[in-house]
Structure 1
Amino acid sequence: MVERIEADYLVETAHDPRVAVEVMAGEQSSGTFVPVPGETPELKERSAARIEALEIVGERAEPSLPGASHPDGRRILLARATLSWPLANMGPSLPNLMATVAGNLFELKQFSGLRLLDIRLPAAFAAAYPGPKFGIEGTRRLAGVEGRPLIGTIVKPSVGFSPAETADLVRLLAEAGIDFVKDDELQADGLHCPFDERVRAVMRVVNDHADRSGKKVMFAFNLSGEIDEMRRRHDLVLAEGGTCVMASINAVGLSGMIALGRHSELPIHAHRNGWGALSRAPALGFSYVAFQKFWRLAGADHMHVNGLANKFAESDESVIASARACLTPMFADKPCIAMPVFSSGQTVRQPPATFAALGSTDLIYAAGGGIMAHPDGPAAGVESLRQSWAAAMAGIPLETHARDHAALAAALGGRS
């Protein structure tokens, strides 16, 4: 039996949908815009993409994207299409998989909209790539947190602090009982806060706090850079006793992430900054359900999914679908589960709806103002989030739980 890769798409076209999707299948496998010598029936049987499913699901009054051809008198139709390719076309290669399922097809003039919705991969990919080395279980073990979400935050201001000022903030947060802290994605190795100095300063604080309290705060250091830089930075974090590193996945690219995933002995916190450019136009780009599979397989242990009632443009439904996708196994023998990271304007108010929709506490819940702006200080901010999650998990309304939980009451009172 020939192993095949499958990809689901939402397409928009004024052409006959089957003819348009046949063009896409040819463009992304053995064909081109005209017949060529050598494209024999035998070659097509061996290497051509196949249309596995095609369903008309709607209609558009106007084209979503410019540049598409529009035959006179033709309606603009929406369809769901599934294509498949033989694994032999590319082998178990994530970069070449990306080029196949999300390459030139976005530029075809037959389409005024095209979006990758999902992918399904043969087991050869599981064998070829590390996947998350720590995932949920390893992250919980290193952070010392069970039975509830990890409560986390982000270093703010995003840039401008020195290593010493960053360490001072981490000391405050550690004493407040925080589980997880991350660099902002804008802070990597700037002149005001060099990576090596920041790691050493922060880890002195983290290690000292762990020695005194028995709790080691997980800090995700942003090591984004060229491959050799990331490996060296990872090794420094490991040597200093760190328990997490972070990479901006769109910036370092698939090959960079794969190299880091193979090298890393620490959980990798995958930040998706730039994601909006790939997703915000509803008729173009990627669904996160498809996108996150590339990065989990490459080695991401944590994946950002935004948060409910967030400050960005993403809907709550999309956020929950993204988080569920991260928690859904990719292969029977290698689940490749990643821990979803909820952030962006998160406070004590979102946990009940988050838990009700996701049905899991296997997540990192990162809040900035929700911790730092609490009227009774950061320790009360951390405690208020734990109290909110406890109420959510027990099915108790926040206002009821707040009657005998002062930190939560203060946060709900509009003072945080």
Structure 2
Amino acid sequence: MARFTAKYEIESPIGIGRAAEVLAGEQSSGTFVRLAAETDELRERSRARVERVDVLNISEQPSLPTRRRGSQYERGIVTVSWPVATIGNSLPNLLATIAGNLFELAEISAIRLLDVDLPREFVEACPGPKFGVTGTRRLAGVEEGLMVGTIIKPSVGFSPDDTAALVKQLAEADIDFIKDDELQANGPNCPLEDRAREVMRVLNDHQEKTGKKVMYAFNITDEVEEMWRHAETIQSLGGSCLMVSLHSVGLAGMRALRDHCDLPLHGHRNGWGLYSRSPDIGISYVAWQKLWRLAGADHLHVNGLGNKFTESDSVVAESARAVQAPVCEDGPTYAAMPVYSSGQTAWQIAPSRDILGSDDFIFCAGGGIMSHPSGPAAGVTALRQAAMAAREGINVEEFAKSHRELSEALERFEKPTLTKT
């Protein structure tokens, strides 16, 4: 019988072995007491099973508040498995199983979901990205090299005409990708349909003149039927990308979009810190991103090196690699396009490329383009020059000596202190 497994780092006042058994019972056939109806046959067929327990250390105080106290708190790694037959091929119910009530158990004083391992038949029953790297490149007309992108700034406050004016400037600067900020929704100050019509008028005109169709990710985050309507409108106008806030629409919403729409889905992870910031509770990106790829996300944000948030460079590197790694060992890869963003400039391009060993990513710079001393066009050129230096294996500061836009960018933006990834 096929099973799926989840790996956790947990801490417990009763020992992690016993705590893992409590977790397995709570998340399958058991409860706080043995039930008369919970026969041995039922347990064998349906229960979760503790597969491995590895103790890391012991402390005198709990990492998180807990009603259950102890004289010491054991911490370590546990692996638990479940039969697929319990949940079927359902991503929402998979999430309820591996990341449900277990976070509240009194016997556990810290818990993080580190990874999930899924059997091939479960993976193949999920749709996966419809476009991924290859389809994105085709629609954006970028056959090789990284995709240089940016975000509409200021995040909110522009009218549809204001947005289109900035998009025209960016398209003429030879940008590859533009996205709405996640805060720019479908409000009366800048209705999505009006914004899409004005932006696509500019981008369609630009394509007529140059042959290049800049990819614009419109934020369609909303109720499911509204998102379908928005998607149809954008596609009818010639748009080539849709953006959704993943935590707002949920796995079921993402799957509904993937099945209904025929444009790449740009997955924005706003709110991610709620799951990732604490070392004592939450979900690792390695586990989290698998679910979104299975649901159909074509692009996934991975933060950026030297970012303005709290994640370390090593976590960013792990996240970027994870998005392109196989979901399971012997099934479809379902690779998505990593999106670097958050305080990115020409300084971060070479190390970002080194993480993946290729140019298969979108490099989004907001201020790193808009605040270039010679304007946005020079900002885009500077990033392309930095990418050229990286491909040719030339130090970016050396390359800048003969490339004015890059030189100005390096002088304008502070060199970040990056850690080894």
TM-score (normalizing by structure 2)? 0.96
Q: Is the Cα–Cα contact under 8 Å of residues 24 and 105 in structure 1 kept in the other structure? A: yes
SS at match of 2:135: helix
Counterpart residue type for residue 379 of structure 2: G
**Shift of residue 126 of structure 1?**
2.8
Residue equivalent to 1:65: 64
Q: Does the 8 A contact of 2:171 with 2:206 survive in 1?
A: yes
Q: Which region of structure 1 is more displaced relative to structure 2, 379-388 or 324-333? A: 324-333
Counterpart in 1 of 2:417? none
1:323 aligns with 2:317: no
Counterpart residue identity of residue 391, structure 2: M
Instruction: Tell me which moved more, 364-373 or 145-154.
Output: 145-154
1:258 deviates by 1.1
Matching of residue 195 in structure 1 with residue 159 in structure 2:
no
Query: 1:177-326 residue pairs with structure 2 within 5 A?
Result: 177-326=174-323
Amino acid at match of 1:340: P
2:157 is equivalent to residue 160 of structure 1: yes
Q: Mark the CA change 1:46 to 1:187 in structure 2 (over 3 Å): closer, same or farther.
A: same
Larger mean Cα displacement after TM superposition, 349-358 or 90-99:
349-358
Q: 2:139 aligns with which of 122, 142, 156?
A: 142
- What SS is found at the alignment partner of 2:302? strand
Instruction: Give the TM-score normalised by structure 1.
Output: 0.97
Consecutive unaligned residues of structure 2, counting only runs of 5 or more, are: 415-421
Q: Which residue of 1 aligns with 2:46?
A: 47
SS in 1 for 2:113: strand
Question: CA contact under 8 A between 1:167 and 1:205: conserved in structure 2?
Answer: yes
Q: Secondary structure at the match of 2:193?
A: helix
Q: Distance in 2 between matches of 1:142 and 1:193?
A: 26
Say whether residues 1:56 and 2:55 are aligned partners.
yes
Per-residue CA deviations over 1:240-279 (Å, capped at 9, x if unaligned) read 1111000001011111111111112000000011111111
Cα deviation 1:108-141 (Å, max 9, x = unaligned): 0111110001111122333332110000000011
Alignment partner, residue 32 of structure 1? 31
SS state at 2:346 partner: coil
Are the aligned partners of 2:372 and 2:412 in contact in 1 as well (CA < 8 Å)? no
Shift of 1:68: 4.5
Give, as a single letter, the amino acid of the residue that structure 1 aligns with 2:389.
A
Following superposition, the deviation at residue 146 of structure 1 comes to 2.7
**How many angstroms apart in 2 are the aligned matches of 1:147 and 1:117?**
34
C-alpha distance in structure 1 between counterparts of 2:95 and 2:413, whole Å: 47
1:339 counterpart residue number: 337
Kindly indicate whether the alpha-carbon contact (under 8 Å) linking 2:219 and 2:243 is maintained by their aligned counterparts in 1.
Answer: yes
Uncovered stretches (5+) of structure 1, i.e. residues with no partner: none
Q: Give the superposed CA RMSD.
A: 1.2
CA offsets 1:197-251 (integer angstroms, 9 cap, x no match): 0110000000000010011000000000000000010011111111100000101
Work out whether residues 345 and 413 of structure 2, in 8 Å CA contact, stay in contact via their aligned partners in 1.
no
Q: Which amino acid in 2 is paired with 1:77?
A: E
Q: Pick the aligned partner of 2:85 from 88, 91, 94.
A: 88
DSSP 3-state at the match of 2:8: strand
Aligned CA distance change for structure 1 residues 351 and 61 (closer, same or farther; 3 Å)? farther
> More displaced, 54-63 or 246-255?
54-63
The structural deviation recorded for 1:54 is 1.0
Displacement after TM superposition at 1:106 (Å): 0.3
Which letter maps to 1:16?
A: G
Conserved? CA contact 1:206–1:217, under 8 Å = yes
Deviations 1:5-61 (A, max 9, x none): 111111111212111100000000010000111111111110110111111123334
The question of whether the paired residues in 2 share the 8 Å contact of 1:68 and 1:112 is answered with no
Does structure 1 residue 387 correspond to structure 2 residue 385? yes
For residues 368-401 of structure 1, what are the alpha-carbon distances to aligned partners after superposition, in whole Å with 9 as ceiling and x for unaligned?
1110111111111001111112212222111111
Aligned match of 1:8: 7
Closer, same or farther: CA 320–68 of 1 in aligned 2, 3 Å: farther
- Aligned to 1:198, the other structure's residue is in SS state helix
Structure 1 residue 77: Cα displacement: 1.9
Q: Given the alignment of the two structures, is residue 129 of structure 1 paired with residue 126 of structure 2, yes or no?
A: yes
SS at match of 1:52: strand
Quick one: which amino acid aligns to residue 38 of structure 1? A
Aligned residues: 413
Q: Distance in 2 between matches of 1:295 and 1:303?
A: 8
Quote the Cα distance in structure 2 between the aligned partners of 1:243 and 1:379.
22
Tell me which stretches of 4 or more aligned residues in structure 1 moved more than 3 Å: none
The amino acid across from 1:318 in the alignment is: V
Aligned to 1:360: 358
CA–CA distance in structure 1, aligned partners of residues 34 and 365 of structure 2: 56
